[in-house]
Each structure stands twice: as structure tokens, then as C-alpha cells.
Chains A and B, each alone.
Chain A
Amino acid sequence: MAIVRFPALMKFYVDNQSEFSVTGSTVKELLDNLVVRYPTLKTHLFDSNGSLRRYFNIFVNGVHIRELNGMDSPLNENDKIILMASAAGG
């Protein structure tokens, strides 16, 4: 299982956890499994076409999924996934 890290802005939707394991052999599968576990996340993560919203970024082991294979990027055991949202506070 990959380990997913959540930004403070989203912890709220995942029982206030900042990090936990989720199954999935690709980023898409992992997100689908995540949404099954926490349904309220769905509208925050995806738009009405099912695409990842553009103010979220996903990194696998420190590399943006744009540099990998996007949502089809493969995942291995213990990969570290970072979900990142923009924050404006200053």
C-alpha cells in the first residue's frame, strides 16, 4: 500500500489524519479507493468530468505525476504520495 500525505486544508475530510495507507496500483486507483473511504472528498478532488481539479497537485516520491504517467502513474508498495492544494495565507 502507498502512503498518502494530506495537506492541512484537507485533513478535515479524512478524520483529521495527516497520513495513512491506501491501496491502488495506479494513482487513479488509489484516489478512487480514497473516495470510497471518504466520499465527501470526491467533489473536492474531481470536477464534474471526473478530472482532477487543477489547484491540486500530486507527487509520487517527490515527482509530479505530470512528469510520470499522470493519473495512470504506477504505484509500488510504500510509495509516498503527497496531495497538495494551493494555500494563500501569509
Chain B
Amino acid sequence: MLPELSREEILRYSRHLLIPEVGLEGQRKLKNSSALIVGTGGLGSPVALYLAAAGVGRIGLVDYDVVELSNLQRQVIHGTSTIGKLKVDSAKEKLQDLNPDIQIDIYNEPFTSANALRIAKDYDVLIDGTDNFPTRYLTNDVCVFLGKPNIYGSIFRFDGQLSVFYAKEGPCYRCLFPEPPPPGLIPSCAEGGVLGILPGTIGTLQATEALKVLLGIGEPMIGKLLLYNALDMSFDFVNLKKNPKCRVCGPNADIKELIDYEEFCGVPGHDHGVDGSAGAGLDIPALDLKNRLSPAGNSKLILLDVREPHELQISALPNAINIPLGQLAARLTELDSADDMVVFCKAGTRSARALELLVSAGFKKVKNLKGGINAWAMDVDQSLPIY
């Protein structure tokens, strides 16, 4: 039995009730349905706002972060007044104002193998709005094991991806990506940036797919993937089929329960960088670098900045050589492997990758500025901005 709509709800949703594909019955279906949004950031913001406005009866929000100033360029569910608050509290407040007739359940905890099945089991769909590979693989596997659709979206700079992974009827995320990229290869939005509107575009498409799935209307993006580019305003659609070798949903699947996703991906399950470290013995803290560069520090020290040239306009260290990470392999001849060298980037992730490349090319006296130029701005030169 679907729940009835109150007089107020009939008025609130009148524009839906006018559409034959939704109508009164569809709106009652939405009232009876539930969606779990994993991540209340760039993608999660528009998804939550539109699903709440649309009248999805129960919305779950999973996030353990607090609202920061640098979120507000794209995470429109939060605001300047909620900086420092838990994202789930900030989001719940906004959603309840938008639609007091729905239930908002918040989970102020990381989504992990230990809690994911418990949290997800009573929801009709999951929406992947996470910002890291471990949580994406976890969300996928949870959906496969519980037989639920995974409304997938991801973003980077001007590019977005959208699909509905539903192993009962089509491929899952692992069918497309059997393995994650090596740690550090694919920059996160924190490292590589993202157009603030992009999660709005992809997130509203995710919300659209979620509504279609919940209402059982139209053709959800099962077995299809959208590749969107905002600069070209191009929408490329490709077809996806189940991968017969898929380890979670294939006929010979060998992954039967949730695994350790951080170990599988080799990175932590959050987007705060890999703490900007290159590993044991390869880092130099900002304060130590300051001492090395002081007149008493004597020896010749090369500073290698592996950021993109446009980032140097935000902050820079004097006398540093700039070779962007992507060009480093081709430009090694510009460097002397006998030199003492400190490599840096914004936060230490790209420079850690550069260090691997330099060490494998025979450079022996190289160190990674731990935490990047942002750590330098925090610990040594407060006149530099942190970005």
C-alpha cells in the first residue's frame, strides 16, 4: 500500500502530478521510496536538494567531514554560515527547510566495510557522490551484494561521467574498472581542480536517474555511460556490457564479501591527499627545508616545482625550477642526478609521484617537500596563500 498524500503535499508536488509519467501514483511511490547519498559534497549537494524537493520519502546522508570555505565554490547545499559544521548537519538543515515532509537520516561516519551493509540495506537506491576510489569500489560492491542500483557520477575539471550500475540488469562499476589506478596517478579534485558547476550538471543528472529508477519510468542509464565535457559541451554515450571476468558480478566471481578497500586501492578513503608524503626517509618537512635554504645551510640545493605553470601565479618559491609532472619524464635531461634536490607541488601528492620517477631514473639525493607549498605557506611563509 502506497502512502496517501496530504492536501499540502498535493499542492507542493502539483507540477509532478500534472505529468502523466509521474502523476498521483508516482508521487506516492516517491513518498514511499528511499535513497542513500554517499558523500554530501559536490555531487551529493544537488542530488540531495533535488531528491528532497521531488519528495523522495526518506533520504540518507553519509559524510564525516565538516564544511570548509573551499567547499562552497561547488557544494551548494552548504553555506558560509555553516562553515565548521558537520556536513550532514548542514545538509539536513537545508533539506528540512526545503521539504519538511520527508525524513532525513544522517550518518556522521565514514562509509566503510564495517558499516556499509548495515547503513545501505534499507534503501532502494544508492547514489555515489564520493570523492575517492576506495569508497567508489565499496559503494559498488555493497550495491552488487544487496542487489541495489548504484547511481554513479564522477567529475574532474570539465569532465563528468554518469551511469547506473545495476548488476541484476547490467554491468557494475568493476565490470568497467576492474582495478583502480595506482595511487597518485589520477589527481583528485583537491589536487587537479574542478569547475564548480560541473557537479551541479552531473549531480542533477544523477538525481534524474534516481527518480527514473524509483518511479520505474523511462530508460535508466543501465549499460550506458555518459562522458560529458563542459568546454566542448559534448555528450558522448558509450555502451557497457557485463564483464564476464568481473570479480564481483561475473559468473566466476571470487569476491563474495566486502574487502579492505583502502588496501585494494592503496590510498585512504578520503580526498585529503595521501598526506603529501613520499614515504619513509623521502620527505623533508617545510621547517627543515627552511633551515637547509638559510645561509648557514650552505650546500647547493635545487628546488623543483612540478605544478602546472598557472599554479605559480597563486604561490611560488623563489629560484625554483618549474617542470610540470606530466613533462618530467621527457625533460629529465634538464636536471643533474648528482644535485641535491627538493621536489614540491601543491600538497605533496604530485611531487611524491615525481620522486618515484626521479629515483627510478637514478637520482639519489632527492626529497619530497611534505605537504607541498601549502605546508610551506602554513609553517614558514604565512604571506603565501593556501589553496
Which residues of A line the B interface, CB within 8 A?
A: 5, 7-9, 12-13, 18-19, 39-40, 43-44, 53-55, 57, 59, 62-64, 66-67, 82, 84-90
Smallest Cβ-Cβ distance to B177: which chain A residue: A86
B238-A62 in contact (CB<8A): yes
Interface size on B, residues (CB 8 A): 51
Segment with Cβ contacts to A, from B23-31, B148-156, B290-298: B148-156
B243-A66 in contact (CB<8A): yes
A55-B181 in contact (CB<8A): yes
Q: What is the bound-complex CA distance between A90 and B199, given in angstroms? A: 7
Which residues of B line the A interface, CB within 8 A?
A: 39, 41-44, 128-133, 136, 153-159, 161, 176-181, 185-189, 192, 194, 199, 227, 229, 231-232, 236-241, 243, 271, 324, 326-327, 329-330
Smallest Cβ-Cβ distance to B326: which chain A residue: A12
B327-A40 in contact (CB<8A): yes
B186-A18 in contact (CB<8A): no
Give the residues in chain B near A7, CB-CB below 8 Å: 156, 159, 227
| Given contact pairs A88-B132, A89-B155, A64 touches B239 in the complex (Cβ within 8 A) | yes
A44-B185 in contact (CB<8A): yes
Q: What is the bound-complex CA distance between A5 and B229, given in angstroms? A: 11
B154-A87 in contact (CB<8A): yes
Q: What is the bound-complex CA distance between A44 and B186, given in angstroms? A: 10
B181-A86 in contact (CB<8A): yes
Residue among B128, B180, B186 with max Cβ neighbours from chain A (10 Å): B186
| Given contact pairs A8-B156, A55-B177, A86 touches B239 in the complex (Cβ within 8 A) | no
B238-A87 in contact (CB<8A): no
